Amino acid sequence: MNDLIIKQGKLINGTIIDLVINDGKITAIGPFAATGLNAIKEIDLHGHYHISAGWIDAHTHCYPQSPLYFDEPDLIGIASGVTTVVDAGSAGADDIDHFYAVSRKAKTHVYAFLNIARTGIRSQNELADMNSIDNEQFQDAARRHKGFVIGLKARMSKSVIGENGLLPLLKAKIMQKTNGLPLMVHIGNPPPNLEAMVDLLTKGDIITHCFNGKPNRILDGTGKLKHAVQKALARGVILDVGHGTESLSFSVAEQAIKFGAHPHMISSDIYQRNRVGGPVYSLASVMTKFLNMGLPAEYILNCVTINAANLLHLPQKGRLERGCDADITIFELKDQRIELVDAEGQVRIGSQQFIPIAAIVSGTHIAVTENTATVDLTVKNTTADRSAINDLSQ
C-alpha cells in the first residue's frame, strides 16, 4: 500500500501525469504511473488542475517573535500553496536557537538566512554598530544549525548601516569565506551606491530587491542596465525579486527584463503587514505580476522551484523526479481580469492569474487554500488540514 497517489495532474506543458509517494519521497511519476496501484490517501485532479514541485519562497520574514517583520510560517507557506519558506535575516546569532525551535513546529519547510548582525532585525539599523557583527558567534550559530541556516544576509541600505558605508558588506564577504554559504544582499537607498556593492559580489551571491525603484536601482539614467550589474550577472551573481512593501517597481522590472535581466528567483519578502494589507499578499500574487509583465508561466514556475532549489543548495527540492522530496503545489492558471499594484502604487491590468489550490509537504501534510472551495478537488481517505490553517489565522 502506497502512502499517497495523485492522479491526473497537469504539468505546465499540458502533459497529464500521476505521482506515487512513499516515505516522503516521489517513488513513481508518469502518465500512467498509478495504474493498478492503491494508496492510503488519493487525490484525483481529473486533468483539470496544474501540478508542480512545491513552491519555494526564497525571501520571507517568518520568525513569529521578530519585533519588526514577522509572520507565521504556515500562513505564508502551506496555506498559500508554498511548501518551503526561507526567512531572510529576521534572526541573528542571538535568536537563531529559538527560531529553529519554533520553525520545527510548522508543517511548512522553514530555512533561514542568518543576519550578519547578531541581533537580527530588532531595529531598522542593525548594522549601524559594527560591534553587532561578531564573526565567531555567527560561525558558531551556522555550525549548530547546519541544514537550517542556508545563507547569510546583509541589509545594505542607508537606514540600516548608518555611517558604516561598505564595511558591513566587506565583513560579510569575510564571514562567507569560512562557511561558503550564499550571501543575500538587500539593496535600498544609498549610500553606499549600488555599483560599489555589486563590484564586491561573486558567483552565487544574491541581489534581493533587484527591481526596486529607489536611487540604487539596477538601471542607469538612460534606462539601460548598469554596467556594474551586467558584469556581476556575467560573474554568476543572482537576481532575486524580494517584492516587499517598497521594493518592486513595474517600470523598472519591465525595462530590465527588456534588456535581458530576468530574475533568477521570484520571492515575496512577505510578512504579516504586507500579506494582509498588500501590496504583496502572497507568493502567487507576485508570480502573477511577472506573468502579466510577459514572463512565460513555465519560466516563473522554474524561479520558485528548480532555480530556487539549485541556488539555495536544496538538491532534493524543486523538482518532480523520482527520489526527490514529495513537496507538491496544486494550482490553477486562470484566465481572468485582475488589477495588480506594485510597491510604488503603479497599476497594471492583468488577464491571467496563478491560483494555488493546495500544498502537499513531504507527502504527509495536505493543506488546502481558501481557493479550494471553488474547485473540484477530490481527496479520498483523508481530511485535508484546513482546520490547522484556520486555527493559525484566528
Taking the C-alpha atoms of residue 46 and residue 377, their distance in angstroms, rounded to an integer, is: 9
Q: 153: annotated binding-site residue?
A: yes
* Residue ranges covered by each domain of the chain: 2-52+325-335+351-381, 55-318
Which pLDDT score is estimated for 393?
Answer: 33
Task: CATH number for 55-318: choose from 3.20.20.140, 1.10.510.10, 1.10.3720.10, 3.30.930.10.
Answer: 3.20.20.140
Nearest of 327, 386, 330 to residue 361 by alpha carbon: 327
Peptide bond into 191 cis (omega under 30): yes
Give the three-class secondary structure for 336. Answer: strand
pLDDT for residue 374 is more than 70: no
- For 242-298, write each residue's pLDDT tens digit: 999 999 999 999 999 999 999 999 999 999 999 999 999 999 999 999 999 999 999
| Confidence band, pLDDT 50/70/90 cuts, at residue 376 | low
pLDDT for residue 392 is more than 50: no
Helical (H) or strand (E) element with 75? helix 73-76
Q: 61: annotated binding-site residue?
A: yes
* CATH (residue range 2-52+325-335+351-381): 2.30.40.10
Taking the C-alpha atoms of residue 59 and residue 124, their distance in angstroms, rounded to an integer, is: 17
- For 47-73, write each residue's pLDDT tens digit: 999 999 999 999 999 999 999 999 999
Which pLDDT score is estimated for 371?
Answer: 79
- For 236-255, write each residue's pLDDT tens digit: 999 999 999 999 999 999 99
**Mean pLDDT calculated for residue range 24-32:** 97
Contacts with 176 (C-beta within 8 Å, 6 or more apart), sequence order: 152, 183
Q: 209: annotated binding-site residue?
A: yes
Q: Give the type of residue at 122.
A: R
- Mean of the per-residue pLDDT values of the chain: 94
CB atoms within 10 A of CB 130: 14
Nearest of 69, 68, 67, 45 to residue 59 by alpha carbon: 69
C-alpha cell at 25: 519521497
Q: 48: annotated binding-site residue?
A: no
Parallel/antiparallel/unpaired status of strands 16-22 and 2-10: antiparallel
Taking the C-alpha atoms of residue 76 and residue 103, their distance in angstroms, rounded to an integer, is: 13
Contacts with 177 (C-beta within 8 Å, 6 or more apart), sequence order: none
- Identical topology for domains 2-52+325-335+351-381 and 55-318: no
Taking the C-alpha atoms of residue 131 and residue 341, their distance in angstroms, rounded to an integer, is: 39
Taking the C-alpha atoms of residue 152 and residue 340, their distance in angstroms, rounded to an integer, is: 32
Which phi-psi region, left, alpha or beta, contains residue 375 (left: φ > 0; alpha: ψ -120 to 50)?
beta
pLDDT for residue 115 is more than 70: yes
Taking the C-alpha atoms of residue 37 and residue 61, their distance in angstroms, rounded to an integer, is: 41
What is the torsional sign of CA 157, 160, 161, 162? positive
pLDDT for residue 201 is more than 50: yes
Residues in the chain: 394
Nearest of 285, 378, 367 to residue 83 by alpha carbon: 367
Which pLDDT score is estimated for 2?
Answer: 97
Give the three-class secondary structure for 274. Answer: helix
Give the three-class secondary structure for 357. Answer: strand
pTM of the model: 0.95
pLDDT for residue 31 is more than 70: yes
- Percentage of the chain modeled with pLDDT above 70: 94
Phi/psi for 60 (5° steps) reads -135, 175
Taking the C-alpha atoms of residue 59 and residue 386, their distance in angstroms, rounded to an integer, is: 25
